[in-house]
Amino acid sequence: MDLRDGQTQPILDPNQPTHVYHLALDIGGSLAKLVYFTKDDNHLVDGEEGVSHRKTLQKCKDSKQHPVLNGRLSFKTFETSKINDCLEFIKSMKLHIGGSQSQENPGSQPIAIKATGGGAYKYADLFKERLGIILDKEDEMDCLVAGANFLLEVVHQEAFTYMGDQKQFVQIDKNDLYPYLLVNIGSGVGMIKVEGEGKFERVSGTSIGGGTFWGLGKLLTKCKSFDELLELSYRGNNRQVDMLVGDIYGGMDYSKIGLSSTTIASSFGKAISDNREREDYKPEDIARSLLRMISNNIGQISYLNALRFGLKRIFFGGFFIRKHPFTMDTLSVAVNFWSKGEAKAMFLRHEGFLGAVGSFMSSDKHGLKELLAKDAVQKSPSKLSFAVDKILRSLSDGECNGDESIECSVYAA
Ligand code: ADP
């Protein structure tokens, strides 16, 4: 990819399908994720952060690096079942033609957009029909790993631990990143041992994942949206539904094998002993119990796979997590408990966008990736934590989200 000063479009080869580098997609079983880069010069002049950013630019200029694109890397999600909304969004933003103000040229070569996930196959005809674009398919696992590696290596404060209400950012040393276990909790769960750039193996997985939580939760609580279900789980008490060790041992611990009275002996186990119908249980307690059951299970399987390959770090991604404190805490406690503190659970700020970022990076394996990986410059951490707050707040609005953007610049050395 050849990006020169002041140009927002790549140089195009008339003999090839036109590639637009600004947009990439990951269309999964539940959600369609978009990552797109838009040019934005304004931040160079307004506000303090703008000034410091300008200083950074100056420094880069002094070191003979040239800013090529200044703008935002934006992240957006749509429910896959509402793929038409996604198409409309792309159309209204003109993302499929590189944000260009000019009209699409009907006589020109079809534009190709990088896309991964099953939907890249399922909806290929629809994208062609409605937007006149070809979905240039990339392998899902390749993208997932490439996205995780990129975010962990490049994005400031991407990884963090979360346990007992304590969130702590982890400074990742690029030279000490591998090996690690990547656990992607989407509709289903994939577990991948990552040993380096492009060096990975899918070692396990489980079908009991985010789709199970949302699907079962919908049936059991009559929630209308995922966010409603998540919101319910905040308020619930799983002890009303789960059978605890104390329920079996008359309120006592089973201390001989280290199980406290509050340990869950059987998820949903209380429902069998009571003469109660589903309606007699509070939906929030059911939601809480379900979330705990699924998160615990994933945490335990993750730990077993980490143990299998001697991996000490487990990074959890996928949109199931949604930065929900309870989910992250449950996963962390499970990993910590089973590994006796040997393995560590970590989370990613752009948890749901690993595949989409990987797809974006694949636009030009030898150009954009190199440029971004070496020289992406971000704004101050305060701005980034604002983005995280935004995601949490959006839960109460009932919006499907995870939408945010990072300001960044791309430099050519
Ligand atoms: P996939 O690629 O399989 O769609 P994702 O990483 O996008 O996987 O995660 C999908 C999961 O995210 C869903 O199964 C659900 O548990 C959760 N999720 C988070 N937000 C939403 C939402 N707004 N609508 C539906 N599912 C959501």
Instruction: Quick: pLDDT tens for 129-178.
Output: 999 999 999 999 999 999 999 999 888 889 999 999 899 999 899 899 99
Confirm if 214 and 30 have CB atoms less than 8 A apart: yes
Instruction: Please name the residues in contact with 341: beta carbons below 8 A apart, sequence gap of 6 or more.
Output: none
Cα→Cα distances 118→1, 127, 139, Å = 27, 14, 9
Structural domain includes residue 163: no
Q: What are phi and psi for residue 310, nearest 5 degrees?
A: 65, 35
Query: Using the 8-state DSSP alphabet, how is residue 82 labeled?
Result: G
Looking from the CA of residue 317, the nearest atom of ligand 1 is 6
Instruction: Please name the residues in contact with 234: beta carbons below 8 A apart, sequence gap of 6 or more.
Output: 284, 324, 326
pLDDT score, position 213 = 98
Residues with CB under 6 A from ligand 1: 28-31, 79, 117, 186-187, 210-211, 213-214, 226-227, 318-320, 322, 352, 400
When pLDDT is cut at 50, 70 and 90, the band that residue 191 belongs to is very high
Lowest-confidence range among 22-36, 79-93, 361-375, 394-408?
394-408
Q: What is the CATH number of the domain that holds 330?
A: 3.30.420.40
Choosing from 326, 348, 370, the residue where a domain stops is: 348
Choosing from 303, 325, 348, the residue where a domain stops is: 348
Structural domain includes residue 20: yes
Structural domain includes residue 100: yes
Are residues 117 and 17 located together in one domain of the fold? yes
C-alpha 328 – ligand 1 centre gap (Å):
16
Confirm if 345 and 382 have CB atoms less than 8 A apart: no
Q: Is the pLDDT of residue 390 over 50?
A: no
C-alpha 218 – ligand 1 centre gap (Å):
13
C-alpha 307 – ligand 1 centre gap (Å):
28
C-alpha 310 – ligand 1 centre gap (Å):
30
Are residues 336 and 368 located together in one domain of the fold? no
Structural domain includes residue 193: no
C-alpha 255 – ligand 1 centre gap (Å):
39
Q: Is the pLDDT of residue 7 over 90?
A: no
Are residues 68 and 118 located together in one domain of the fold? yes
Domain hosting 286: range is 210-241+281-348
pLDDT score, position 376 = 44
Structural domain includes residue 235: yes
Name the residue at shortest CA distance from atom 13 of ligand 1. 210
C-alpha 312 – ligand 1 centre gap (Å):
27
Name the residue at shortest CA distance from atom 27 of ligand 1. 226
Lowest-confidence range among 93-97, 105-109, 218-222, 365-369?
365-369
Are residues 361 and 343 located together in one domain of the fold? no
pLDDT score, position 257 = 85
Q: Within 10 Å of residue 408's Cβ, how many Cβ atoms? A: 21
When pLDDT is cut at 50, 70 and 90, the band that residue 54 belongs to is very low
Are residues 328 and 379 located together in one domain of the fold? no
Distance of CA 364 to the CA centre of its chain: 22
Which of 122, 212, 226 has the most ligand 1 atoms within 8 A of CB, as the residue to mutate? 226
Closest CA to 238 of 298, 275, 281, 207: 281
Are residues 232 and 304 located together in one domain of the fold? yes
Structural domain includes residue 133: yes
Are residues 117 and 88 located together in one domain of the fold? yes
Are residues 338 and 370 located together in one domain of the fold? no
- b/e per residue, 15-24, with b = 16+ CB within 10 A? eeebbbbbbb
Does residue 179 have a cis peptide bond before it, meaning omega lies within 30 degrees of 0?
yes
Helix (H) / strand (E) element for 406: namely strand 404-412
Choosing from 296, 331, 348, the residue where a domain stops is: 348
Q: Rounded CA gap, 365 and 357, in Å?
A: 13
Are residues 344 and 394 located together in one domain of the fold? no
Name the residue at shortest CA distance from atom 8 of ligand 1. 186
Instruction: Report how many domains make up the chain.
Output: 2
Are residues 334 and 223 located together in one domain of the fold? yes
- Give counts: helices (H), strands (E), the chain: 14, 16
293-342 pLDDT tens trace: 999 999 999 999 999 999 999 999 999 999 999 999 999 999 999 999 99
Q: Is the pLDDT of residue 282 over 60?
A: yes
Distance of CA 142 to the CA centre of its chain: 15
When pLDDT is cut at 50, 70 and 90, the band that residue 108 belongs to is low
CA angle 138, 143, 146 (to 5 degrees): 140
Structural domain includes residue 335: yes
Structural domain includes residue 18: yes
C-alpha 136 – ligand 1 centre gap (Å):
23
Q: Rounded CA gap, 285 and 245, in Å?
A: 18
When pLDDT is cut at 50, 70 and 90, the band that residue 111 belongs to is confident
Q: Rounded CA gap, 293 and 289, in Å?
A: 6
pTM above 0.85, yes or no: no
Q: Is the pLDDT of residue 30 over 60?
A: yes
Are residues 380 and 312 located together in one domain of the fold? no
Record the tokens describing residue 405, joined without a space: 């953007």
Tell me how far apart the terminal alpha carbons of the chain are, to the nearest angstrom: 14
At residue 100, the 3 state secondary structure works out as coil
Are residues 407 and 336 located together in one domain of the fold? no
Q: Is the pLDDT of residue 42 over 80?
A: no
When pLDDT is cut at 50, 70 and 90, the band that residue 36 belongs to is confident
pLDDT score, position 105 = 56
Record the tokens describing residue 76, joined without a space: 């957006």
Which of 319, 326, 353, 404 has the most ligand 1 atoms within 8 A of CB, as the residue to mutate? 319
